[in-house]
């Protein structure tokens, strides 16, 4: 699919990897709608790239449907859907005081990362399925964001790894399910990237993490994630696959 002239949605587009993807799609000529729980961030980025910024919680179906209506009114139905919104979490199953981890913490991460992603997929896919097909019978393409934690999660990452593992596991069945509508689905599993969350860590910790990456021995750049996301859009034969983007990193237990 050619990016130029297409309507695109980017969840989590107000910062980090999502912001980089929104900027790259806009650079290549897409009409970009940014959906983010942080309205100020969404509108800031949208204003800088000539798109629109909309605030929504991806786990809230009514809120999400409303912003999809708004994006559609402004740009038309989006054929490009980038699911990047998500949250992190780290908590040991048994705390230092011997108490079990709160179930609510586990449920929240699963709800945002896994259920929220599926919610975006189901609501946007129903709209894309009504569009006329493009070349090769394609109607749309969706990207989901997992993590290397889906494969080698560290101590305390049970909730995060489970949520990202769920995204990896549903990539192929989603691609098979939506094939009848001409909608492709791929997932990217990033490793350690320069993001606002990463920059909150002490510099020494960031350097140590970067040194653990075989090659290149540095943190990934958001523009590298964005470049892969854009390539997935343009390469029609990429479907049903999860791609690790990690510099050959395999995470240690802790």
Domain definitions of the chain by residue range = 7-191+223-245
Q: What's the CA gap between 71 and 246, in Å, rounded? A: 32
What is the average per-residue pLDDT within 241-245? Answer: 98
Q: Quick one: DSSP state of residue 131?
A: S
Parallel, antiparallel or unpaired: strands 140-145 and 7-11:
unpaired
Q: What's the CA gap between 182 and 70, in Å, rounded? A: 24
Half-sphere exposure at residue 164, Cβ-oriented, CA atoms within 13 angstroms? 28
User: What is the model's pLDDT at position 209?
Assistant: 84
151 catalytic, yes or no? no
Point out the catalytic residue in the list 106, 118, 160, 193: 160
Which long-range CB contacts under 8 A does 230-234 form with residues at least 24 apart? Answer: 230/3, 230/21, 230/24, 230/25, 230/28, 232/141, 232/143, 232/184, 232/186, 232/188, 233/1, 233/3, 233/25, 233/80, 233/141, 233/143, 234/1, 234/2, 234/3
- Class level of CATH domain 7-191+223-245: alpha beta
User: What is the model's pLDDT at position 196?
Assistant: 80
Chain mean pLDDT for the chain? 95
pLDDT digits (tens, 9 = 90+) for 89-146: 888 999 999 999 999 999 999 999 999 999 999 999 999 999 999 988 999 999 999 9
Q: What's the CA gap between 92 and 94, in Å, rounded? A: 5
Which stretches does DSSP call E strand in the chain?
A: 7-11, 31-36, 52-55, 80-83, 140-145, 183-190, 242-245
User: What is the model's pLDDT at position 77?
Assistant: 98
Contact call for residues 189 and 165 (beta carbons, < 8 A): no
pLDDT digits (tens, 9 = 90+) for 177-227: 999 999 999 999 999 998 887 777 778 878 888 889 999 999 999 999 999
Of 250 and 208, the structure prediction assigns the larger pLDDT to 250
pLDDT digits (tens, 9 = 90+) for 39-62: 999 999 999 999 999 999 999 999
pLDDT digits (tens, 9 = 90+) for 70-95: 999 999 999 999 999 999 888 899 99
CA 4, chain centre distance (Å): 21
3-state secondary structure of 222: helix
Contact call for residues 36 and 42 (beta carbons, < 8 A): yes
Mention every residue, 6+ apart, whose C-beta is less than 8 A from residue 111. Answer: 59
User: What is the model's pLDDT at position 215?
Assistant: 95
What is the average per-residue pLDDT within 222-241? Answer: 98
Longest dimension (CA), the chain: 60
User: What is the model's pLDDT at position 221?
Assistant: 96
């Amino acid at each position: 699919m050619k990016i130029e002239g297409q309507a695109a949605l980017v969840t989590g587009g107000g910062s980090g990897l999502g912001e980089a993807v929104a900027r790259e799609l806009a650079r290549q000529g897409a009409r970009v709608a940014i959906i983010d729980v942080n309205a100020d961030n969404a509108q800031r980025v949208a204003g800088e790239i000539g798109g629109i910024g909309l605030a929504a919680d991806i786990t809230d179906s009514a809120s999400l449907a409303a912003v999809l209506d708004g994006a559609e009114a402004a740009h038309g139905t989006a054929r490009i859907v980038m699911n990047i919104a998500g949250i992190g979490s780290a908590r040991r199953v048994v705390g230092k005081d011997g108490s079990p981890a709160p179930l609510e913490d586990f449920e929240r991460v699963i709800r945002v990362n896994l259920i929220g992603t599926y919610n975006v997929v189901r609501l946007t896919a129903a709209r894309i399925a009504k569009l006329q097909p493009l070349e090769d019978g394609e109607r749309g393409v969706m990207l989901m964001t997992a993590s290397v934690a889906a494969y080698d999660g560290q101590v305390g990452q049970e909730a995060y790894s489970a949520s990202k593992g769920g995204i990896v596991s549903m990539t192929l069945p989603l691609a098979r399910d939506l094939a009848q509508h001409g909608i492709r689905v791929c997932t990217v599993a990033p490793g350690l990237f320069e993001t606002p969350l990463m920059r909150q860590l002490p510099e020494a910790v960031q350097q140590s993490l970067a040194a653990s990456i075989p090659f290149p021995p540095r943190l990934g750049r958001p523009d590298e994630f964005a470049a892969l996301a854009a390539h997935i859009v343009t390469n029609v034969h990429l479907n049903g696959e999860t791609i690790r983007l990690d510099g050959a990193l395999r995470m240690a237990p802790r």
